[in-house]
Structure 1
Amino acid sequence: MIVPEPKDLVKDELFLSWFYQTSDSVFICRNTDKEILLAVYNQPAEKWVDEFFMHGKDGFVCKENEFERTCKNTFKTQKKVSFSFSLEDKGILTVSCSPVYVEEMEEWIVLVVGKNKQNLIGSYNASLLTYLSNTEDAVLVRDVNGTITFVNIAFSDMFGWKSEEVLGKKVYEINILPVSLIEESSRINEMSLRGSSYSHITTQRLRRGGELFDVSITYSYVTDVDGEIVGSLSVFRDMSEQKKIESLLRESEERYRKLVDLCPLPIFVHQEGTVQYVNHAALTLMGTDDESKLIGNSIYSFANMEHHAEIKKRSTEVHQEPVQGISEYTIKTLDHQYKMIEAMVTSISIRDNKVNLVLLNDITEKKRQEEALRESEKRYRLIADNSYDLISIIDRNGIGKYISPSHEKLLGYKESELIGDTATMRIHPNDREHTYETFQKVLETKEQQRMEYRMYRKDGSIIWIESILRMFDEGDQSDILIESRDITERKENEKMIRRLDKLSVVGQLAAGVAHEIRNPLTSIKGFLQLYQEQNLEKKEDHYWEIIFSELNRIEEIINEFMVLAKPQEVDRKSVPIQDLLSHTIVLFQSEAHLNNIEIDVIYVETEQMSIYAVENQLKQVFINLLRNAIEAIKPQMGKIRIKVESRDGEESVRFRFIDNGPGIPKDRLAHLGTPFYTTKEKGIGLGLTISQKIIHEHKGDFRIRSGHKRGTLIDIVLPRYNLSHRQSI
């Protein structure tokens, strides 16, 4: 199939001239709803056509996915897109797709321009091509006919001509050569095409606006894959700024010398390593007042051997990159001292000679102090970073400046989350005023202070913290060092001790009261029963019922006292969980039904499990919990759910009792389980106390969660029945 001539599509003569003369591969593509069609291509593009297109019903159809995808993306975004292809036998083709609107056709086309980089630079590899494209020096490549085939971005920046404006043209056509230098440039280019190379030729060129500027040019030749010369390469370096500096230095050399002589920092000037000049500060640094002991000597004779290679490298590089960073060296002075110095080198011109000016700074004492500080910081940071206690440093505004790693272990916050922030929002609201007053007291008195407070962990839980605050000075600032530790366990132990002490007193009191009441109570009950048998009038039956009901209540209270008063003789055995619960629940079925309360039991793979326990004691616990739940729900309709599931890898069983009653306010929840504390009108406050005592004697755990108008949840965790538990309980 024959593709049309480009002039059938585009009438622009300049475009047509470029199309036929450029060495780039050029494709003009059109877009249909389904595919990309090749409309026109030039002679350099012929070898690529079969790679990207195939014969189709409507013409050459794109078959290469990346090529097709890039063209379609160009049509869609109306933006220029570039990509590359690499084939062993044809080289590397870097392709740029540009959207172009053709007025004659009244449609958008994609102009695809590909540069065959392998043929362009011959035996040079892709890394060199990357260097040429990205180097700060301007690069221009011409073929053997003098036609420009490649310029890099730096060329456009330096001369002001875009690549698309110069490709396919001769150098003299873009007006970068002064008229007087055209002949010289042509002669050097011809010599390059014959295999010659020229480095750092200082001359002048023109920018696009006509500005004349100084450049350094390196000329070389370009070969193809067979080593045949196919073009020339010119690398331009803008020397205008350096020329200006050299001119200014020449004009003010005497003034500059006086300034350097009076400079308080040591200055050396050397040429190729030989000292040409030193100022008074340099003489002092080197421990002499005789400049003849330095001038004419090698700079390497004063520096440690280990620094020679670095000094030589920087002394050479400074001529290509005038601004160098600061380096540190060790030198030996003429009075046999070793000193640490900072050195900054730059290149200057004196009487048209390039020399290196080295500015020095004696940092010996600074280095000694830094080393001492590093050792000190290393020791203290090692202690702080490995301390289990929380160590932090905050400023006078409470902003964190240092946070030890132990914070993440205990509180869950990373160091980055705490540095630059205050701890106010992590402190319990009830303790913020107290901690603020303590902090202010440290600032005012500068004396050590101690405080205890509650703090939120990242997961929302609360722990108790004890902190010691000390003020210390760091430079011209005063900061506060805080050493903190977790005292939650200590607080819980103190609370438990207080509770156990109270329980012990209650137990002793209960034992005495129960002993003193039980004997006379037995006698009273016996005589009343005898009297009842002798007086059988029915009209007095209800009085007897009341009397014996109250006596039974007194007897029940005495029995509960006795549970608290002394350890019970126990007979532990394997108790099936399902039997234990069903025998307990049946006692409340009638009462629950009368009060429209549903009792629901869910076994999560625990129906066949057993626990090692005293059956009657656990029944007493479950009876207390069910009775409390029913009384809390009445007189409303409600539901009690009991969920039984295994825990800790089936080593234990959790009984969860949940009711939808009115719940327990937060201020009362903390007191539950305290002897004689009750929320019921006729309660005596021993039911939960006894229940907790029984569970703890079974090596179990008893926990209550509740909230006002949110119901109550009670978890009881008991060990499962197995031989090891039987031996340990």
Structure 2
Amino acid sequence: MSKSQLLLELNELRRKVMALEESKKYNNLSPAMRALKLAQEKFSQAFHCCPDILTVTTLNEGRYIEANEAFLKITGYTRSEVIGHTARELRLWANLEDRDLVVEQILVTGSIRNFEMQFRNKYNELLTTLLSIDKFEVDGEPFLICVVKDINDRKRMVEQLRLSEERFSKAFNSSPVTMTISTLEEGLLLDVNDSFCRTLGVSKNEVIGLTSAEIDFWVNPAQREEMKQSVLENRSVTEMEVQFRRQSGEVRWGQYSAERININGQICLLSLFTDLTERRQMEIEMSRLDRLNLVGEMAASIAHEIRNPMTTVRGYLQLLKDDLKYINEGVYFDLMIEELDRANAIISEFLSLAKGKSVELKPHSLNAILRNIYPLLQTNARLQDRGINLMLDEIPDIMIDEKEIRQLVFNLVNNGLESIAAGSAVMIRTYKQDNQVVLAIQDDGYGIDQKILENLGTPFFTTKAQGTGLGLTVCYGIAARHNAKIDFETGPDGTTFFVRFPIY
């Protein structure tokens, strides 16, 4: 056997002898000592493998006796830089007052749990942590075992979430678009923005915690069910045209969109809608004007051609009626003449729609015109057991055609008289608002049915047995020729028509 082989054999033999000696020592230990040694080994392994920071320090000085790998990794220090030194020497405490508070509580209670603190690593970076400490003694000397949990990432996420929620809250509340957050099933309002409050004429406190049904938001509840079904199937609904009701009872048009969101495990809706009422009214007005122009063109073309032969027919009917041979048929002649007169009245209204009809605009006092025709209006009202009331504010003169304004007032007042009960009265008011003079004609009838509203002003549309369907159409035509605008408010307590004249 060579010398090198002999040396290898000798070293192996020496290793085995040492292992036998260690085994002999371990076997000679009592069971209690063996269990203690095993527990120490397990503790040491768990101590150094723990992902959270673990340290053992003296209580009196805070000198590090032991620190695990997580401590070294997170702080950036080596073991030799830590063991035997204090946290104060390493400048770990971002706020020394925190250490004083911790020591004070340890002395009183012997422990501390989840104390949020900041410490500084080797590279002067601040880390946010949760500190837990327990006191223990060895041979009468107090020590501390400390557990430090790094919550820097969690704090960052919480801060990012807070900022995100803050940005959403600002966008939600300052958005000019009406927005709500509600439950899908019941429509319970969890939050609404300022635009919602302005649009509906409510305050947040009045609606938060109520359902859309309780605030009577949906004019047609079936539309909400349709929306709900769409959200369940498609997670969202986009640009759905709906009707909604303001707190005052006014019905308006809107474009509704909603997205399904989850809040604490509950299916909710982030809803937004745009009030399209003005745009829709403009579309209706444009359509009405188109029809008005068409009727006006027809009026100019055929009204005179129709009126001339009718005048001839009426004259001969009058002659025949006076003929003694037809004395017994007088009632029939009266009926025919009456119907011809009614047709002639329709043609007169028809002619007033003629496109390009000339008007003579002059400075006039609207109040003076109303006072002049008041006796005639009052006489007509009394014949129907009704009345007329005037409430005229001081207003400037405006550019108007007196004849046309008389006709406009007669038509609107007659509509009001037909809408009220016996013993009631129509109120005629004038006042100045911004750069306009406003003529308001108000009745206390039952309001205008929703189905009729969109057809108001349409030529030949009427709900009256003997109506021509041209009275309000004529009013719109007169207003257009005066650069005025007609709008109205209607509800269960009555209807008010407003004619708004510009002040030049």
Residues 544 and 586 (structure 1), Cα distance of their counterparts in 2 relative to 1, 3 Å cut: farther
Distance 1:477 1:258, change over 3 A: farther
Taking structure 1 as reference, are residues 304 and 515 closer, same or farther at Cα in structure 2, changes over 3 Å only?
farther
Kept in 2, the 8 Å contact 1:669–1:706? The answer is no
Is structure 2 residue 297 aligned with structure 1 residue 297?
no
Of 330, 345, 349 in structure 2, the residue corresponding to residue 556 of structure 1 is 345
Quick one: distance in 2 between partners of 1:588 and 1:402?
Answer: 52
**Which digits, 9 at most, give the CA deviation of each residue in 1:499-518, with x for residues without a partner?**
33333333333334315424
CA contact (8 A) 1:273 1:299 kept: no
What amino acid does structure 2 have at the position aligned with 1:688? Answer: L
Once the 2 structures are TM-superposed, how far is the Cα of residue 383 of structure 1 from its aligned partner?
Answer: 4.2
Cα pair 2:292 2:477 within 8 Å, conserved:
no
**What is the DSSP-based 3-state SS (H/G/I as helix, E as strand, rest coil) of the residue aligned with 1:340?**
strand
Displacement of 1:438 after TM fit? 2.7
Return the offset for 1:686. 0.7
TM superposition score normalised by structure 1: 0.52
- Tell me the amino acid that sits aligned with residue 319 of structure 1: L
* Corresponding residue for residue 343 of structure 1: 130
Alignment: residue pair count: 457
**Structure 2 counterpart of 1:682, which letter?**
Q
1:437 pairs with 2:226: yes
Task: Report the alpha carbon displacement of residue 694 of structure 1 after superposing the two structures with TM.
Answer: 2.0
Identify which of 664, 674, 692 aligns with 2:476.
Answer: 692
Residues 638 and 659 of structure 1 are in contact (CA less than 8 Å); yes or no, is this contact kept in structure 2? no
Alignment partner, residue 431 of structure 2: 646
Distance across 1 between alignment mates of 2:167 and 2:449:
52
Contact 2:256 2:273 in 1 (8 A): yes
In structure 2, what is the equivalent of residue 311 of structure 1?
Answer: 99
Structure whose residues are more often strand by fraction: 1
Report the Cα distance in structure 1 between the residues aligned to 2:379 and 2:230, rounded to whole angstroms: 65
* Structure 2 Cα separation of the partners of residues 642 and 448 of structure 1: 46
Query: What SS class does the counterpart of residue 299 from structure 1 fall into?
Result: coil
Counterpart of 1:491 in structure 2 is 280
Q: Which residue of 1 aligns with 2:292?
A: 503
Q: In structure 2, the residue corresponding to 1:703 is in which secondary structure? A: strand
The 1:399–1:651 alpha-carbon spacing in structure 2 relative to 1, beyond 3 Å, is closer
2:374 is aligned with what amino acid? I
The answer on whether the counterparts of 1:511 and 1:562 sit within 8 Å (CA) in structure 2 is yes
Whether 1:705 aligns to 2:490 is yes
- Contact 1:438/1:449, CA 8 A, preserved across alignment: no
Distance 1:271 1:394, change over 3 A: same
Name the structure 2 match of 1:114: none
Give the partner amino acid of 1:681: A
Cα gap change, 1:405 to 1:311, in 2 (>3 Å): farther
Which structure is higher in RCO with an 8 Å CA cutoff and minimum separation 6?
2
Q: Residue by residue, what CA displacement relative to the aligned partner does 1:235-293 show, whole Å, maximum 9, x if unpaired?
A: xxxxxxxxxxxxxxxxx9x9999879846443333424433444546546557897554
* Residue 146 of structure 2 corresponds to residue 358 of structure 1: yes
Secondary structure class of the residue paired with 2:457: coil
| Shift of residue 326, structure 1, vs aligned partner | 1.9
User: What's the counterpart of residue 101 of structure 1?
Assistant: none
469, 488, 491: which one aligns with 2:258: 469
Give the drift of 1:297. 0.8
Q: Deviations over 1:135-191 (max 9, x none)?
A: xxxxxxxxxxxxxxxxxxxxxxxxxxxxxxxxxxxxxxxxxxxxxxxxxxxxxxxxx
The separation in 1 between residues aligned to 2:268 and 2:422, in whole angstroms, is: 62
Q: CA deviation at 1:583?
A: 3.3
Aligned partner of residue 107 in structure 2, secondary structure: coil
User: Are 1:455 and 1:463, in contact at CA under 8 Å, matched by a contact in 2?
Assistant: yes
- Write the deviation string for residues 106-142 of structure 1: whole angstroms up to 9, x where unpaired: xxxxxxxxxxxxxxxxxxxxxxxxxxxxxxxxxxxxx
- Residue 365 of structure 1 aligns with an amino acid whose one-letter code is D
Matched, 1:656 2:441: yes
- 1:455 corresponds to which residue? 244
Name the CA distance, whole Å, in 1 between partners of 2:248 and 2:106.
58
Aligned twin of 2:400: 613
Q: Identify the residue that residue 118 of structure 2 maps to in structure 1.
A: 329
Once the two structures are superposed, the pairs formed by residues 129-278 of structure 1 within 5 Å of their partners are: 262=46, 264=50, 265-268=52-55, 269-278=57-66
1:565 partner SS: coil
| Change beyond 3 A, Cα 1:320–1:588 | same
- Per-residue Cα deviation, 1:673-703 (whole angstroms, up to 9, x for no partner): 3321223322211112212332354324342
Q: Tell me, yes or no, if structure 1 residue 571 matches structure 2 residue 335.
A: no
Match of 1:681 among 430, 445, 465: 465
Describe how 1:390-405 pairs up with structure 2 within 5 A. Answer: 390-394=178-182, 397=185, 403-405=192-194
- SS at 2:257's partner residue? strand
Q: Structure 1 pair 492/579, CA: closer, same or farther in 2 (3 Å)?
A: closer
Distance change >3 Å, CA 388–CA 477, structure 1 → 2: same
- Does 1:716 pair with 2:498? yes
Please give the secondary structure, in 1, of the residue aligned with 2:353.
helix
Deviation at 1:329, TM superposition (A): 1.2
Asked if the contact 1:319/1:347 (under 8 Å) is kept, the reply is no
What is the SS of the residue equivalent to 2:117?
strand
- When residues 432 and 372 of structure 1 are mapped into structure 2, their CA distance, relative to the original with a 3 A threshold, is same
- Structure 2 CA distance for aligned equivalents of residues 477 and 705 of structure 1: 40
**1:72-102: CA deviations, max 9, x gaps?**
xxxxxxxxxxxxxxxxxxxxxxxxxxxxxxx
Contact 2:58–2:64, Cα closer than 8 Å, also in 1: yes
Secondary structure at the aligned position of 1:358 is classed as strand
Q: State how far apart, in whole Å, the 2-side matches of 1:475 and 1:665 are.
A: 44
For structure 2, list consecutive stretches of 5 or more residues without a partner in the other structure. Answer: 1-35
CA separation in 2, counterparts of 1:400 and 1:326?
39
Cα distance, 1:307–1:687 mapped onto 2, change above 3 Å: same
Range 324-333 or range 615-624, more displaced: 324-333
Q: Please provide the CA RMSD for this pair.
A: 4.5
More displaced 10-residue stretch of structure 1: 341-350 or 686-695? 341-350
Kept in 1, the 8 Å contact 2:93–2:120? The answer is no
Identity over the aligned pairs, expressed in percent? 24
1: CA distance between counterparts of 2:156 and 2:359? 76
Question: Scaled by the length of structure 2, what TM-score is found?
Answer: 0.72
Q: Which runs of 5+ in 1 are unaligned?
A: 1-251
Following the alignment from structure 2 to structure 1, what is the Cα–Cα distance between the partners of residues 418 and 99?
A: 92
Higher share in helix = 2
